Amino acid sequence: MIGKLLERGNQVLLEKQIDFAGRAETNTAVRFTREYFDSLGIEIRMIDAAPAVTETVFFKKTYTSPIMPAALSGLNGVCKNGLVETAKGAARAGVPMWIGIGEEAELEEAVETGADVVKIIKPYRDEDLILEKIKQAEKHGAVAVGMDTIFGFGGKKGDSLIRPDLMSPKSLSDLRRYVSATHLPFIVKGVLSVEDAEKAVDAGAAGIVLSNHSGSVLDYALPPLMVLPEIEKAISHSVTIFIDGGFTRGTDAFKALALGADGILLGRAVICGLAADGADGVHGILSGVNEELRRVMSVAGCPDVKHIHSGLVRRTISLPGAQRKHLMPAK
Protein backbone atom coordinates (compact mmCIF):
# COMPACT_ATOMS: atom_id res chain seq x y z
CA MET A 1 0.00 0.00 0.00
CA ILE A 2 2.75 2.46 0.92
CA GLY A 3 4.63 1.79 -2.29
CA LYS A 4 1.63 2.56 -4.45
CA LEU A 5 0.81 5.73 -2.51
CA LEU A 6 4.39 6.96 -2.79
CA GLU A 7 4.48 6.18 -6.51
CA ARG A 8 1.16 7.92 -7.17
CA GLY A 9 2.10 10.94 -5.06
CA ASN A 10 5.45 11.34 -6.76
CA GLN A 11 3.71 11.22 -10.14
CA VAL A 12 1.26 13.95 -9.09
CA LEU A 13 4.13 16.13 -7.84
CA LEU A 14 5.97 15.58 -11.12
CA GLU A 15 2.89 16.53 -13.15
CA LYS A 16 2.46 19.70 -11.06
CA GLN A 17 6.17 20.45 -11.37
CA ILE A 18 6.52 20.64 -7.59
CA ASP A 19 9.94 19.85 -6.15
CA PHE A 20 10.42 19.89 -2.36
CA ALA A 21 13.85 18.26 -2.49
CA GLY A 22 16.78 20.12 -1.01
CA ARG A 23 19.39 20.72 -3.69
CA ALA A 24 22.15 22.81 -2.21
CA GLU A 25 24.84 22.80 -4.90
CA THR A 26 25.54 19.11 -5.66
CA ASN A 27 22.68 17.67 -3.51
CA THR A 28 25.22 15.32 -1.96
CA ALA A 29 23.71 15.59 1.55
CA VAL A 30 20.50 13.93 0.36
CA ARG A 31 22.44 11.11 -1.30
CA PHE A 32 24.59 10.58 1.80
CA THR A 33 21.47 10.36 3.97
CA ARG A 34 19.87 7.63 1.86
CA GLU A 35 23.10 5.68 1.50
CA TYR A 36 23.63 5.74 5.24
CA PHE A 37 20.16 4.28 5.80
CA ASP A 38 20.87 1.58 3.25
CA SER A 39 24.21 0.62 4.81
CA LEU A 40 22.49 -0.60 7.99
CA GLY A 41 20.84 -3.99 8.49
CA ILE A 42 18.46 -5.30 11.16
CA GLU A 43 18.72 -8.48 13.25
CA ILE A 44 15.88 -11.00 13.35
CA ARG A 45 14.88 -12.42 16.75
CA MET A 46 11.87 -14.70 16.33
CA ILE A 47 12.03 -17.16 19.23
CA ASP A 48 9.62 -15.95 21.94
CA ALA A 49 8.61 -13.06 19.66
CA ALA A 50 5.15 -11.51 20.03
CA PRO A 51 3.11 -8.94 18.07
CA ALA A 52 4.50 -5.49 18.87
CA VAL A 53 2.69 -2.33 19.93
CA THR A 54 3.93 1.08 18.82
CA GLU A 55 2.30 3.40 21.35
CA THR A 56 4.59 6.27 22.37
CA VAL A 57 4.41 9.13 24.86
CA PHE A 58 5.28 12.70 23.84
CA PHE A 59 4.39 15.91 25.70
CA LYS A 60 2.85 13.73 28.48
CA LYS A 61 0.32 12.30 26.01
CA THR A 62 0.11 8.84 24.49
CA TYR A 63 0.08 8.50 20.70
CA THR A 64 -0.38 5.48 18.48
CA SER A 65 3.06 5.77 16.91
CA PRO A 66 6.45 7.48 17.14
CA ILE A 67 6.03 8.43 13.45
CA MET A 68 4.47 11.80 12.54
CA PRO A 69 4.52 14.52 9.86
CA ALA A 70 7.61 16.76 9.81
CA ALA A 71 7.39 20.55 10.10
CA LEU A 72 5.90 21.21 6.66
CA SER A 73 4.78 24.42 4.95
CA GLY A 74 3.72 25.75 1.55
CA LEU A 75 1.50 22.78 0.75
CA ASN A 76 -1.39 24.51 -1.03
CA GLY A 77 0.16 23.77 -4.41
CA VAL A 78 0.14 20.08 -3.54
CA CYS A 79 -3.45 20.01 -2.28
CA LYS A 80 -6.08 22.63 -1.47
CA ASN A 81 -5.70 23.60 2.20
CA GLY A 82 -2.66 21.33 2.31
CA LEU A 83 -1.63 21.91 5.92
CA VAL A 84 -5.17 21.42 7.19
CA GLU A 85 -5.57 18.22 5.18
CA THR A 86 -2.25 17.00 6.59
CA ALA A 87 -3.47 17.79 10.11
CA LYS A 88 -6.67 15.81 9.44
CA GLY A 89 -4.61 12.83 8.33
CA ALA A 90 -2.37 13.08 11.39
CA ALA A 91 -5.37 13.31 13.72
CA ARG A 92 -6.88 10.17 12.20
CA ALA A 93 -3.55 8.39 12.58
CA GLY A 94 -3.40 9.42 16.25
CA VAL A 95 -0.11 11.32 16.05
CA PRO A 96 0.99 14.98 16.38
CA MET A 97 1.17 17.32 13.41
CA TRP A 98 4.21 19.61 13.01
CA ILE A 99 3.91 22.93 11.15
CA GLY A 100 6.67 25.15 9.77
CA ILE A 101 6.31 28.55 8.09
CA GLY A 102 2.69 29.66 7.82
CA GLU A 103 0.07 32.20 8.73
CA GLU A 104 -1.75 32.27 12.05
CA ALA A 105 -5.02 31.22 10.36
CA GLU A 106 -3.41 27.99 9.11
CA LEU A 107 -2.22 27.16 12.61
CA GLU A 108 -5.67 27.79 14.04
CA GLU A 109 -7.37 25.68 11.37
CA ALA A 110 -4.91 22.82 11.87
CA VAL A 111 -5.61 22.75 15.62
CA GLU A 112 -9.36 22.81 14.96
CA THR A 113 -9.07 19.48 13.09
CA GLY A 114 -8.37 17.81 16.42
CA ALA A 115 -4.68 17.25 15.70
CA ASP A 116 -2.10 17.99 18.37
CA VAL A 117 0.08 20.62 16.68
CA VAL A 118 3.76 21.46 17.17
CA LYS A 119 4.64 24.90 15.77
CA ILE A 120 8.21 25.39 14.52
CA ILE A 121 9.37 28.99 13.93
CA LYS A 122 12.18 30.12 11.66
CA PRO A 123 15.09 32.06 13.28
CA TYR A 124 13.88 35.46 12.09
CA ARG A 125 15.96 38.61 12.55
CA ASP A 126 12.81 40.23 13.85
CA GLU A 127 12.68 39.25 17.52
CA ASP A 128 9.17 40.65 17.93
CA LEU A 129 7.97 38.36 15.16
CA ILE A 130 9.45 35.33 16.93
CA LEU A 131 7.76 36.23 20.21
CA GLU A 132 4.49 36.92 18.38
CA LYS A 133 4.53 33.47 16.78
CA ILE A 134 5.29 31.85 20.15
CA LYS A 135 2.22 33.60 21.56
CA GLN A 136 0.14 32.46 18.57
CA ALA A 137 1.14 28.86 19.31
CA GLU A 138 -0.01 29.28 22.90
CA LYS A 139 -3.20 31.10 21.93
CA HIS A 140 -4.37 28.42 19.51
CA GLY A 141 -3.54 25.42 21.67
CA ALA A 142 -0.34 24.00 20.19
CA VAL A 143 1.17 21.22 22.31
CA ALA A 144 4.73 22.49 21.77
CA VAL A 145 6.64 25.25 20.01
CA GLY A 146 10.20 25.49 18.75
CA MET A 147 12.75 26.99 16.39
CA ASP A 148 14.49 25.75 13.24
CA THR A 149 17.93 27.07 14.23
CA ILE A 150 19.78 25.47 11.30
CA PHE A 151 18.23 28.10 9.00
CA GLY A 152 20.11 30.97 10.70
CA PHE A 153 21.91 31.98 7.51
CA GLY A 154 19.03 31.00 5.26
CA GLY A 155 18.92 28.01 2.94
CA LYS A 156 20.09 27.14 -0.55
CA LYS A 157 18.56 25.67 -3.66
CA GLY A 158 21.31 24.99 -6.12
CA ASP A 159 23.49 28.11 -5.97
CA SER A 160 20.62 30.38 -4.95
CA LEU A 161 20.26 31.60 -1.38
CA ILE A 162 16.83 31.38 0.31
CA ARG A 163 15.72 34.05 2.84
CA PRO A 164 19.17 35.02 4.24
CA ASP A 165 18.00 38.62 4.69
CA LEU A 166 15.14 37.55 6.96
CA MET A 167 17.12 35.17 9.19
CA SER A 168 19.90 35.36 11.75
CA PRO A 169 21.81 32.78 13.82
CA LYS A 170 20.73 32.53 17.44
CA SER A 171 22.88 32.44 20.57
CA LEU A 172 22.48 30.30 23.65
CA SER A 173 21.10 33.32 25.50
CA ASP A 174 18.58 33.85 22.67
CA LEU A 175 17.34 30.27 23.06
CA ARG A 176 17.07 30.67 26.82
CA ARG A 177 14.92 33.75 26.25
CA TYR A 178 12.57 31.90 23.90
CA VAL A 179 12.28 28.97 26.29
CA SER A 180 11.40 31.30 29.16
CA ALA A 181 8.89 33.18 26.98
CA THR A 182 6.47 30.24 26.84
CA HIS A 183 4.84 27.69 29.08
CA LEU A 184 4.87 25.19 26.19
CA PRO A 185 7.62 22.60 25.70
CA PHE A 186 10.27 24.25 23.49
CA ILE A 187 12.00 22.23 20.76
CA VAL A 188 15.26 23.09 19.00
CA LYS A 189 15.24 21.82 15.40
CA GLY A 190 18.28 21.54 13.17
CA VAL A 191 20.70 19.93 15.63
CA LEU A 192 23.52 18.08 13.87
CA SER A 193 26.30 17.98 16.47
CA VAL A 194 26.90 17.07 20.11
CA GLU A 195 27.85 20.70 20.76
CA ASP A 196 24.48 22.06 19.62
CA ALA A 197 22.59 19.27 21.38
CA GLU A 198 24.28 20.11 24.67
CA LYS A 199 23.55 23.82 24.19
CA ALA A 200 19.89 23.07 23.49
CA VAL A 201 19.70 21.10 26.74
CA ASP A 202 21.49 23.94 28.56
CA ALA A 203 18.93 26.40 27.17
CA GLY A 204 16.11 24.40 28.76
CA ALA A 205 14.69 22.80 25.61
CA ALA A 206 12.27 19.93 26.10
CA GLY A 207 13.30 18.32 22.82
CA ILE A 208 15.62 18.49 19.84
CA VAL A 209 15.21 17.54 16.19
CA LEU A 210 18.24 16.07 14.46
CA SER A 211 17.99 17.43 10.91
CA ASN A 212 20.10 18.60 8.00
CA HIS A 213 17.03 20.32 6.51
CA SER A 214 16.98 17.82 3.63
CA GLY A 215 20.35 19.08 2.41
CA SER A 216 19.05 22.57 1.67
CA VAL A 217 21.33 24.41 4.11
CA LEU A 218 24.77 22.86 3.61
CA ASP A 219 26.03 20.65 0.83
CA TYR A 220 27.77 17.56 2.29
CA ALA A 221 25.93 18.00 5.61
CA LEU A 222 26.17 14.86 7.72
CA PRO A 223 23.26 12.39 7.74
CA PRO A 224 21.26 12.91 10.94
CA LEU A 225 21.23 9.15 11.53
CA MET A 226 25.02 9.13 11.62
CA VAL A 227 25.36 11.66 14.46
CA LEU A 228 22.37 10.29 16.39
CA PRO A 229 24.23 7.71 18.55
CA GLU A 230 26.86 10.16 19.79
CA ILE A 231 24.23 12.81 20.55
CA GLU A 232 22.04 10.31 22.41
CA LYS A 233 25.08 9.22 24.44
CA ALA A 234 26.11 12.81 25.23
CA ILE A 235 22.72 14.02 26.47
CA SER A 236 21.51 10.68 27.90
CA HIS A 237 17.90 11.27 26.85
CA SER A 238 17.62 14.29 29.11
CA VAL A 239 15.33 15.67 26.40
CA THR A 240 13.14 14.04 23.75
CA ILE A 241 15.08 13.28 20.56
CA PHE A 242 13.24 13.61 17.24
CA ILE A 243 14.86 13.08 13.85
CA ASP A 244 13.97 13.84 10.22
CA GLY A 245 15.60 13.52 6.83
CA GLY A 246 14.86 10.85 4.23
CA PHE A 247 12.52 8.64 6.27
CA THR A 248 10.23 6.66 3.98
CA ARG A 249 9.54 3.17 5.32
CA GLY A 250 9.11 1.38 8.63
CA THR A 251 12.62 -0.05 8.43
CA ASP A 252 14.02 3.50 8.29
CA ALA A 253 12.09 4.41 11.43
CA PHE A 254 13.23 1.27 13.25
CA LYS A 255 16.90 2.04 12.55
CA ALA A 256 16.56 5.53 14.02
CA LEU A 257 14.72 4.29 17.10
CA ALA A 258 17.41 1.66 17.61
CA LEU A 259 20.16 4.26 17.40
CA GLY A 260 18.59 6.57 19.98
CA ALA A 261 15.67 8.55 18.53
CA ASP A 262 12.32 8.85 20.31
CA GLY A 263 10.27 10.25 17.44
CA ILE A 264 10.45 10.10 13.63
CA LEU A 265 9.35 12.96 11.35
CA LEU A 266 8.24 12.16 7.78
CA GLY A 267 8.50 14.91 5.18
CA ARG A 268 8.54 13.84 1.54
CA ALA A 269 6.56 10.65 2.21
CA VAL A 270 3.73 12.61 3.83
CA ILE A 271 3.75 15.12 0.96
CA CYS A 272 3.40 12.20 -1.48
CA GLY A 273 0.42 10.90 0.48
CA LEU A 274 -1.12 14.39 0.46
CA ALA A 275 -0.57 14.71 -3.30
CA ALA A 276 -2.05 11.29 -3.97
CA ASP A 277 -5.19 11.49 -1.85
CA GLY A 278 -5.36 14.49 0.51
CA ALA A 279 -6.03 13.70 4.17
CA ASP A 280 -6.75 10.07 3.29
CA GLY A 281 -3.34 9.80 1.65
CA VAL A 282 -1.60 11.34 4.65
CA HIS A 283 -3.39 8.91 6.95
CA GLY A 284 -2.49 6.07 4.60
CA ILE A 285 1.23 6.94 4.70
CA LEU A 286 1.36 7.44 8.48
CA SER A 287 -0.64 4.33 9.35
CA GLY A 288 1.09 2.26 6.67
CA VAL A 289 4.62 3.19 7.72
CA ASN A 290 3.64 2.57 11.34
CA GLU A 291 2.32 -0.87 10.43
CA GLU A 292 5.64 -1.58 8.71
CA LEU A 293 7.44 -0.47 11.88
CA ARG A 294 5.20 -2.65 14.03
CA ARG A 295 6.02 -5.69 11.89
CA VAL A 296 9.77 -4.97 11.97
CA MET A 297 9.59 -4.63 15.77
CA SER A 298 7.77 -7.97 16.01
CA VAL A 299 10.31 -9.76 13.81
CA ALA A 300 13.20 -8.19 15.74
CA GLY A 301 11.81 -9.34 19.08
CA CYS A 302 10.72 -5.90 20.34
CA PRO A 303 7.28 -6.01 22.01
CA ASP A 304 7.23 -2.20 22.35
CA VAL A 305 9.36 0.82 21.45
CA LYS A 306 11.20 0.71 24.79
CA HIS A 307 12.73 -2.63 23.81
CA ILE A 308 14.28 -1.34 20.58
CA HIS A 309 18.04 -0.99 21.07
CA SER A 310 21.26 -0.41 19.14
CA GLY A 311 22.32 -4.07 19.20
CA LEU A 312 19.62 -4.79 16.62
CA VAL A 313 21.21 -2.61 13.91
CA ARG A 314 24.55 -3.30 12.24
CA ARG A 315 26.59 -2.05 9.31
CA THR A 316 26.12 -4.60 6.52
CA ILE A 317 27.85 -3.16 3.46
CA SER A 318 30.88 -1.04 2.75
CA LEU A 319 30.15 2.36 1.28
CA PRO A 320 31.94 3.43 -1.90
CA GLY A 321 35.29 5.10 -1.31
CA ALA A 322 33.90 8.57 -2.07
CA GLN A 323 31.48 8.15 0.83
CA ARG A 324 33.71 6.21 3.26
CA LYS A 325 35.98 9.16 3.93
CA HIS A 326 32.95 11.22 5.01
CA LEU A 327 30.89 8.65 6.94
CA MET A 328 32.04 6.95 10.11
CA PRO A 329 30.64 3.56 11.17
CA ALA A 330 27.44 3.42 13.19
CA LYS A 331 28.06 3.03 16.91
- Strand, coil or helix: 183: coil
Cα–Cα distance between 269 and 292 in angstroms, integer? 14
Cα–Cα distance between 306 and 56 in angstroms, integer? 9
Q: What is the largest CA-CA distance in the chain?
A: 58
Cα–Cα distance between 283 and 270 in angstroms, integer? 9
Cα–Cα distance between 247 and 255 in angstroms, integer? 10
User: Tens of pLDDT along 74-131?
Assistant: 999 999 999 999 999 999 999 999 999 999 999 999 999 999 999 999 999 999 999 9
The answer to whether the CB of 48 falls within 8 A of the CB of 316 is: no
State the pairing for strand pair 160-162/155-157: antiparallel
What is the reported pTM?
0.94
The answer to whether the CB of 310 falls within 8 A of the CB of 331 is: yes
User: Tens of pLDDT along 181-202?
Assistant: 999 999 999 999 999 999 999 9
The residue among 130, 328, 97 whose CA lies nearest residue 229 is 328
What is the per-residue pLDDT for 214? 87
Report the range of poorest mean pLDDT among 150-154, 191-195, 234-238, 318-322. Answer: 318-322
**In terms of residues, how long is the chain?**
331
The answer to whether the CB of 72 falls within 8 A of the CB of 110 is: no
Domains of the chain listed by start with CATH number: 2-309 (3.20.20.70)
Cα–Cα distance between 118 and 186 in angstroms, integer? 9
pLDDT at 287 over 50: yes
